[in-house]
């Protein structure tokens, strides 16, 4: 009898330790190690491995909260009703036909302030436009698929890449740029910048910038802070405009093509910056549908620099940007 009690006690202690460890991991610390495992792949990243990465690895806080916070801090959001809020808006369809090709870059000079307008030209100022953005890549397969879909649809996007992946997939970086898309800085190792010292923030940004300059011949102009986290140190140390987003597709969470497509097409409106991650098959599949459908609805798909340049906004270092609707542009011109 005594032995049974002893065994039971040991089992009970083991259970407590196990439960404590599991819940501690799930509720508290972000799964940085799991993320690093993905990042440190040897060039043969497997979808199965990536699908096992816990869904919360992308964000320090609930993404919906980020999106909502963005909206409340941005006054222009309250007037959305006046604009192209309905994704099924037939007015857009009627006004804009597929022939709205983005103008030839050779005729357009880079605007004041935007020193890094990619060689893909400029959007038509008066027509609706949206900026698709892809974080955490490049991925040798999925990024290339997205770039191909953009090309087929006379569309551009911005890819906020990690320095650690850029140095691994240099040719993918070149593919992005050669097709008129923009490259932005998403840090070297995806650490949350707000938790770092100034010198560490600068190192994360500069290391990536140097890698990209070595590959493309040009340092990136824009930064997307990891996890959307920004504080005064990040603003000071980034040395570039900080590009956030107005539409979070939650692609990293759902990993479901239909859900990503649905969420995007049902919330998109003129001037939106749409957040996706080009390291998932589901995102690449969804992006193909989203790109062609947005084009069919008459949206120009432009890079971040093109979006702001088209609406005469000079992006400033250390300032946060969430969208560029015509309303925002009217109220933020200098």
Residues classed as catalytic = 135, 277
Considering only 56, 135, 204, 270, the residue that binds Zn ion (CB under 5 A) is: 135
56 binds Zn ion (CB under 5 A): no
Contact call for residues 187 and 204 (beta carbons, < 8 A): yes
Taking contact as CB under 5 A, which single stretch among the options 77-85, 134-142, 198-206, 254-262 is the one that binds Zn ion? 134-142
Binding string, 84-123, against Zn ion, x = CB under 5 A? ----------------------------------------
- Which of positions 204-263 make contact with Zn ion (CB under 5 A)? none
Nearest approach, Cβ of 252 to Zn ion (angstroms)?
8
- Provide the minimum distance between the beta carbon of 159 and Zn ion in the complex, in angstroms, as a whole number: 12
Report d(CA 281, CA 265) in Å as an integer. Answer: 19
Q: Which stretch binds Zn ion (CB under 5 A): 5-13, 47-55, 69-77, 131-139?
A: 131-139
Nearest approach in angstroms of CB 280 to Zn ion is: 12
- Which of 56, 80, 100, 136 binds Zn ion (CB under 5 A)? It is 136
Instruction: Give the residue closest to Zn ion by C-beta.
Output: 135
With CB under 5 A, what is the number of residues at the site for Zn ion?
2
Structure tokens at 276: 């996706």
Least distance from Zn ion to the Cβ atom of residue 224, Å: 7
Please, which residue, 275 or 329, has the CB nearer to Zn ion? 275
Residues contributing to the site for Zn ion (CB under 5 A) = 135-136
């Amino acid at each position: 009898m005594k032995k049974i009690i002893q065994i039971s006690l040991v089992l009970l202690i083991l259970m407590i330790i196990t439960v404590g460890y599991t819940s501690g991991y799930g509720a508290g610390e972000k799964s940085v190690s799991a993320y690093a495992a993905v990042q440190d792949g040897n060039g043969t990243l497997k979808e199965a491995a990536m699908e096992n990465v816990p869904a919360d690895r992308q964000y320090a806080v609930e993404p919906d909260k980020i999106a909502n916070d963005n909206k409340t801090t941005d006054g222009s959001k309250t007037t959305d009703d006046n604009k192209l809020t309905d994704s099924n808006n037939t007015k857009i369809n009627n006004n804009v036909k597929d022939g709205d090709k983005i103008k030839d870059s050779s005729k357009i000079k880079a605007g004041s302030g935007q020193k890094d307008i990619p060689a893909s030209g400029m959007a038509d100022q008066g027509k609706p436009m949206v900026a698709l953005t892809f974080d955490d890549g490049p991925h040798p397969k999925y990024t290339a698929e997205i770039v191909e879909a953009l090309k087929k649809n006379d569309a551009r996007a911005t890819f906020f890449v990690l320095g650690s992946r850029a140095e691994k997939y240099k040719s993918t970086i070149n593919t992005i740029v050669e097709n008129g898309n923009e490259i932005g800085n998403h840090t070297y190792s995806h650490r949350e910048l707000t938790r770092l010292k100034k010198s560490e923030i600068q190192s994360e940004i500069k290391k990536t910038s140097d890698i990209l300059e070595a590959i493309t011949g040009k340092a990136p102009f824009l930064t997307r802070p990891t996890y959307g986290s920004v504080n005064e140190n990040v603003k000071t140390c980034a040395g570039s405009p900080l590009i956030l987003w107005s539409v979070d597709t939650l692609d990293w969470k759902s990993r479901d093509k239909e859900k990503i497509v649905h969420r995007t097409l049902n919330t998109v409106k003129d001037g939106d910056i749409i957040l996706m991650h080009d390291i998932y098959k589901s995102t690449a599949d969804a992006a193909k549908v989203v790109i062609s459908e947005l084009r069919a609805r008459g949206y120009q798909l432009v890079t971040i620099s093109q979006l702001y340049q088209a609406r005469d906004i000079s992006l400033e270092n250390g300032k946060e940007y969430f969208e560029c609707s015509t309303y925002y542009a009217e109220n933020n011109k200098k």
